[in-house]
């Protein structure tokens, strides 16, 4: 299967954006080789700012640039962006609603061998709670590229969550990305899986497993976690059974966002695939996905449980 990391697509698309728009600025904190901003740095050295290992300073410096009409793409690992610089993002960027696009790579357990200290599993929760913030998690390299063009045009801050390993392609080139619009990848009436990021591919596989068992399951790519696509949630809730899947804690992320919306507008039985209130650890990305039940098999199993609850109610 053809695969590509979302961070690779990010690096390449930044160069495209740099050619298209003079006011694109990129900042990094000594991780440009990993975040792939080095591609932009090579092409546009005068518009790239190496900030050293100083994430708080980097985010607030980007705020200053944005106050002078620049559109800043700021990168480091998710743990250091959303974690270390949380309050800079909140007060210096989101509060004044500035055009700073926080493109955080190496999110989730698929960071792999570096272990729990480096695996952001609460970044969606943190970023989603901030007013004015838009939160987007692309599922593959094509969605990453398309989303970045939309992110450039969007007025205000965005948290864009990217991963380390190569992930399968889900979309082809004519895919159109719209901020706030979920994408239905499969029809179904027995249950709905709402997934984000790398779990979208697993959700598709889970639906295939379930089809073999005679269940028709809807699959959604909820790339924009905030603002959430309410119409999609309502449609998913019509099946009466929703399972969310994310490479993130089940506390505060996609699952919580969907549950909040569902509870208020369209109640359904629900269950959550994600990290169950625990940190990650060292291992290969594949081993870790397996160890924390972030798999198609587990999604399928969870769907069966929720469908059971629905039927027995």
Partner 1 sequence: MDTKKYEELQEIARQSRAWIIRALAEANSGHPGGSLSATDILTYLYFQAMNINPDNPSDPKRDRFVLCKGHGAPALYTSLALRGYFPKDELLTLRKLGSRLQGHPDTRKLPGIDASTGSLGQGLSIANGMALAGKLDDQSYTVYALLGDGETQEGQVWEALMTASHYQLNNVIAFLDYNHLQIDGRIEEVKSGGNFASRFRSFGWHVLEVNGHDFYAIDEAVIAAKQEKYAPSMIIAHTIKGKGVPFMEGKAKWHGKAPNKEEALEALKLLGASWEEI
CB of 70 to partner 1, least distance (A): 6
Residues annotated as part of the active site: 55
CB of 83 to partner 1, least distance (A): 15
Strands annotated E in the chain = 3-5, 24-28, 48-50, 71-77, 100-105, 134-136, 158-161, 166-168, 183-186, 191-195, 217-221, 224-226, 241-249, 269-275
Residues lying near partner 1 in the complex (CB under 8 A) are found at: 25, 46-47, 49, 51-52, 54, 56-70, 87-88, 91-92, 95-97
Shortest CB 235 distance to partner 1, Å: 36
Q: Are 72 and 101 in contact (CB under 8 A)?
A: yes
Closer residue to partner 1, CB minimum distance, 49 or 269: 49
Least distance (Å) between residue 85 CB and partner 1 = 9
| 3-class state of residue 105 by DSSP | strand
| Three-class secondary structure of residue 204 per DSSP | helix
Which residue bears the tokens 């607030």? 60
Whether 75 and 27 have beta carbons less than 8 Å apart is answered as yes
The minimum distance between CB 68 and partner 1, in angstroms, equals 3
What DSSP designation does 171 have? -
C-alpha to C-alpha distance for 89 and 100, rounded to whole angstroms: 9
Q: What does the alpha-carbon distance between residue 276 and residue 286 come to, in Å, rounded to a whole number?
A: 18
Rank residues 70 and 164 by Cβ distance to partner 1 and give the closer one.
Answer: 70
Closer residue to partner 1 (CB): 28 or 247: 28
Cα separation, 282 vs 159, whole angstroms? 26
Rounded alpha-carbon distances, angstroms, from residue 227 to 129, 258, 261, 268: 11, 11, 11, 20
Cβ 52 to partner 1, closest distance in Å? 7
Report d(CA 220, CA 194) in Å as an integer.
Answer: 5
């Amino acid at each position: 299967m053809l695969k590509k990391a979302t961070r690779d697509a990010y690096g390449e698309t930044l160069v495209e954006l740099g050619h298209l728009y003079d006011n694109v600025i990129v900042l990094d904190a000594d991780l440009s080789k990993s975040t792939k901003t080095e591609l932009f740095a090579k092409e546009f050295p005068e518009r790239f700012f190496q900030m050293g290992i100083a994430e708080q300073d980097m985010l607030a410096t980007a705020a200053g640039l944005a106050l002078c009409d620049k559109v800043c793409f700021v990168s480091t690992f998710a743990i250091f962006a959303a974690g270390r610089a949380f309050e800079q993002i909140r007060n210096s960027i989101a509060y004044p609603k500035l055009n700073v696009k926080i493109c955080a790579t190496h999110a989730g357990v698929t960071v792999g061998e570096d272990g729990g200290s480096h695996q952001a599993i609460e970044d969606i929760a943190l970023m989603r709670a901030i007013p004015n913030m838009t939160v987007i998690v692309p599922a593959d390299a094509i969605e990453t590229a398309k989303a970045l063009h939309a992110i450039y045009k969007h007025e205000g801050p965005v948290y864009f969550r990217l991963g380390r390993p190569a992930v399968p392609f889900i979309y082809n080139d004519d895919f159109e990305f719209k901020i706030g619009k979920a994408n239905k990848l499969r029809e179904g009436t027995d249950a709905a899986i709402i997934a984000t990021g790398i779990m979208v591919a697993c959700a598709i596989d889970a639906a295939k497993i379930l089809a073999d068992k005679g269940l028709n399951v809807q699959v959604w790519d909820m790339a924009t976690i905030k603002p959430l696509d309410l119409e999609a949630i309502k449609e998913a809730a019509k099946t009466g059974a929703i399972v969310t899947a994310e490479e993130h804690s089940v506390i505060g992320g996609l699952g919580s966002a969907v549950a909040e919306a569902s509870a208020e507008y369209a109640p359904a039985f629900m269950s959550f695939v994600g990290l169950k209130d625990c940190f990650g650890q060292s291992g290969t990305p594949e081993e870790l996905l397996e160890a924390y039940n972030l798999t198609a098999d587990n999604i399928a199993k969870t769907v069966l449980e929720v469908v059971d609850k629905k039927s027995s109610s």
